[in-house]
Amino acid sequence: MPTPAPRDLSDLPFRHRLESFTADLAREEDYEWLHIDGATFDDTDAGMSRFTESALSSVTFNGGRLRRARLDTVWMHSMRTVGTDLAESTWLDTECLSGLLAGTQLHGAQMRRAVFHHCKFDSVNLRATKLREVVFVDCLLRDVDFAGATLTDVSFPGTSLDKVDFTKATLSRVDLRDATALGITSGAEALNGAIVSTPQLLDLAPALARHIGIMVKDR
């Protein structure tokens, strides 16, 4: 899967339609062609809202609920979500650059044709998610939980995986060869369907040995 190049706001095909948005977000609303720039939302409830062909620049969500929100063709730059509930949300044709997701709930979310550039995921819950054609480029995934998730055509070029859990995940054509680190704490047995390099296989050997019960002792 080719690595997509990051885009600027001026590169977006719908940029001429964008209108500045400075109001509060609300539940079950349809938002189209909005540009939110430099806003902070504290404990906002925008659950089940739909965002289409929109842009978010330097936007922070502290807490709050966007459960079951739908993001369709949304561009995000320097977005921060801290303790935000995005469970069961849908991400389609989305792009996130230089973002921070910390303590964010994304369990049950669905992502298709999404790309993350230079983003940091810290203690993010991605349990039971469905990811298809998703790319993590030069990201850091620390304490990320993919337990029970389904990953199809997902790649991690330049990305470091640190204490990541793949317990009972289902992987198909998941390319890990260009990841800079494979720190997998649980679920190494679920890597069936992943592509790794020979050096990475050697790095994974201790975890795989533990799974099948091989005791390794040097004399």
Residues of the chain above pLDDT 70, percent? 94
CA angle 64, 55, 111 (to 5 degrees): 65
Tokens for 32, please give them. Answer: 């189209």
- Residues 151-204: tens digit of each pLDDT: 999 999 999 999 999 999 999 999 999 999 988 888 777 788 888 888 877 777
- pLDDT, position 195: 86
When pLDDT is cut at 50, 70 and 90, the band that residue 214 belongs to is low
- HEC assignment per residue over 14-46: CHHHCEECCCCCCCCCEEECEEEECCEEECCEC
pLDDT value, residue 211: 65
As a whole number, mean pLDDT of residues 194-216 equals 72
d(CA 217, CA 135): 38
Query: Rg for the chain (alpha carbons), in Å?
Result: 18
With contact defined as beta carbons under 8 Å apart, do 86 and 104 qualify? yes
What pLDDT, on the 0 to 100 scale, is given for residue 212?
59
Structure tokens at 85: 């509930």
Please compute the mean of the pLDDT values over residues 143-158 and round it to a whole number. 97
What's the pLDDT at 196? 83
HEC assignment per residue over 117-154: ECCEEECCECCCCEEEEEEEECCEEECCECCCCEEECC
In contact, 84 and 109? CB cutoff 8 Å: no
Average pLDDT of the residues of the chain: 93
Distance CA 219, CA 58 (A): 56
Q: What is the pLDDT of residues 105-127, one digit of tens each?
A: 999 999 999 999 999 999 999 99
Report which of 47, 41, 92 is spatially closest to residue 66, judged by C-alpha positions.
47
Which pLDDT does position 100 carry in this prediction?
Answer: 98
pLDDT band at 43 (very low <50, low <70, confident <90, very high): very high
**55-89 residue pLDDT tens:** 999 999 999 999 999 999 999 999 999 999 999 99
Which single residue is written with the structure tokens 């459960």?
67
Q: What is the pTM of this model?
A: 0.92
